[in-house]
Structure 1
Amino acid sequence: MASLAESMALPAAAGGLAVLFSHPLELTKVRLQLDNELAAKGTPRQYAGFVDCVLQNFRAAGVRGLQRGLSLGVTREVCFNAVRIGLYDPILSASGAVSGRGERAPSARERMAAGFTCGALGGCCVNPIEVLKVRMQAYGGLTGHQHAIPSPAAGLAALVREEGLAGCLRGVGTSTARGVLGPGSQLIAYNELKAVAVGHGADPAAAPTHVSCALASAAVSVACVNPVDVVRTRVYNAPAGLYASGADAARRLLRTEGPLALYKGSLTHYLRLGPHMVLVFGILERLKSMRARSS
């Protein structure tokens, strides 16, 4: 039990620290994804791009505005990484035990199944936090429905009072799919790329190995997950009754804005996710080294 707790605590700490630096780009991504929601193709956008979005948000509210919803971002990363990264090795170990083949290296199929499982579980666990985080990040911007949330506690109280359990579970199916496609693909890509790099002589403990594998895995993740991420952001932030489901949101987006709208905010998504995962995996590897030296 202690080893399981440690395996979950280290990624949780790494994610909570990393988001302190990456949160402004996460906020920017959310506002870009909501830009021109359900507007006809060719309608002028509120933001010319991620640089313009950052500058406008900074002029409007300063650094504090760019960090809106940070406490929820930290909470989300702590919980999410504890599950999606912390349970990865234990699930792989369980698959080896169930197979009855004793100690062995897990197969690529088992690593993929573990990554997808952890991503889906993480998406389910943090769904209410994600709903509030997206709404706080959207509030004060030029795009998207505006939910007046003065604080996380007030936002949670309003969510439960006005929407009940259904509000806390809003978009959970889309979030689960995102957890499978995004973090699942990224975790698999990171571990596979690192295994290939080490096989070609790279030092598994060296910073360049972590950085290159984290950046490459983030690109894989964004390519897989950005369409679902756009849909999820809109479902989370929409006023009651606007969308019947994630599938309805996707259908209406495609009909009004076209398929390219599914990649709104994708550059910002990568600029946020790439450095964020470099920090997460870098901090995680350092914490593991510190633990190993102390034991």
Structure 2
Amino acid sequence: MSKTVKDLTAGTAGGMAQVLVGQPFDIVKVRMQTAPTGTYNGMMHCAGGILKNEGPLAFYKGTLTPLLGIGVCVSIQFGVLEYSKRYFAGRNLANGKGGMGGKDLSAGQLLVAGVLAGLANGVVSGPVEHIRIRLQTQSDKNRLYNGPFDAMKKIYSAHGVAGIYKGQGVTLLREATGYGVYFLAYEKLMQREMAQKGIKREEISPTHAVLYGATAGYALWAVIYPIDMVKSRIQTDGFSPSTGQKYKSAVDCVRIAWRADGIRAFTRGLGPTLIRSPFANGATFLGFEMANRLLNS
């Protein structure tokens, strides 16, 4: 099995772990981001309303799409990241700056590798998250879509490829910015431990992989949360003025949100995100590292 195939397989394992751990928190975040002002008094009010009105399974609404799609997305992330790392390590070696172990990669190289991973991932994550958000926010009483495939079929029939990729520009901005920081933080922490202890990557304990993944997750959300809010609003907005479209563009969304709620509009739903982040991102990197070690054993 080639190194790239192993990276993609391990990334899929990490992505599925992320979805299973983080999905309940994600639906609370999305509901809080997209609901009209005053709908929820806080995270617990939102979660309690979902549980009372829709039952416990509602926390896994739209899970099929991310379980398959995010698995592919994270697979792409890690595939591009690891390929880019090997490319930069090879260049460093050719220039006499180190070996192929990844310990010598600079912060700039890791940042670029993360940005490339985010952009590649965004091509798939945009429509995956769009469909997931549509399913997460639809009412059980006025159901528009009977699952992810029905949603894709109806949206494509009415609005074409542009409808499926609604909010794609904001998605690419979020992915490039977020994953540049995300992988930079994680890889620097891994480099630090390898250098301090004089060990190989596979000798780093799973507990530390979880902790470093959790830390990287906080770094990611600290940078991208306002962008994510704009993305969520655009991807739940109408497709045209005749179907209830509120925002003409991402800039228009920012302007309207600021006028209505000020800075609070860009932090709504942050609570469940911060709680979710260490578990979901720790599980992602743990899944990737453990699967990678198994595949390379």
**CA shift at 1:10, angstroms?**
0.8
Q: Distance in 2 between matches of 1:251 and 1:111?
A: 34
The reply to whether residue 261 of structure 1 matches residue 241 of structure 2 is no
CA distance in 2, matches of 1:106, 1:17: 28
Q: Normalised by the size of structure 1, how large is the TM-score?
A: 0.89
| One-letter identity of the residue aligned with 2:221 | V
Do residues 91 (structure 1) and 91 (structure 2) align? Answer: no
State how far apart, in whole Å, the 1-side matches of 2:206 and 2:255 are.
43
Matching residue of 1:252: 256
Q: Within 2, Cα distance between the matches of 1:214 and 1:94?
A: 23
Shift of 1:209: 1.2
- Aligned 8 A contact 1:135 1:147 in 2: no
Q: Specify whether residues 217 and 141 from structure 1 end up closer, same or farther in structure 2 by C-alpha distance, changes over 3 A only.
A: farther
Instruction: Provide the C-alpha distance between the structure 2 equivalents of 1:257 and 1:208, rounded to a whole number of angstroms.
Output: 40
Structure 1 partner of 2:189: 193
Match 1:290 to one of 266, 271, 294: 294
Contact 2:77–2:118 at 8 Å: present in 1 too? yes
User: Which whole-Å deviations, capped at 9, do the CAs of 1:64-114 have from their partners, x for residues lacking one?
Assistant: 211100001212311210111221111122234457426642222111101
Instruction: Measure the CA separation in 1 of the matches of 2:186 and 2:91.
Output: 25
* Conservation of the 8 A alpha-carbon contact between 1:182 and 1:222: yes
- Which ranges of 4 or more aligned residues in structure 1 deviate by more than 3 Å? 95-100, 197-204
Tell me what 1:42 maps to: none
Structure 2: stretches of 5+ with no match in the other structure: 241-245
What's the counterpart of residue 11 of structure 1?
Answer: 11
Tell me the amino acid that sits aligned with residue 181 of structure 1. T
Q: Which amino acid aligns with 1:245?
A: S
Structure 1 unmatched ranges of 5 or more: 40-44
Distance 1:134 1:10 in 2: 26
1-structure distance, mates of 2:91, 2:296: 28
The answer to whether 1:208 aligns with 2:182 is no
Q: RMSD of the alignment, in Å? A: 2.2
Does 2:172 correspond to 1:176? yes
Give deviations 1:205-257, integer Å, cap 9, x for gaps. 21331222122111111110100000000000101232222121112111221
SS at 2:79's partner residue? coil
Structure 1 residue 141: Cα displacement: 8.2
* Within-5 A mapping of 1:44-55: 45-55=38-48
Matched-pair identity in %: 20
How far apart in 2 are the matches of 1:120 and 1:284?
Answer: 20
Quote how far apart the aligned CAs of 1:35 are. Answer: 2.5
Partner of 1:148: 144
Whole-Å separation in 2 of the counterparts to 1:121 and 1:141 = 34
Distance 2:84 2:195 in 1: 24
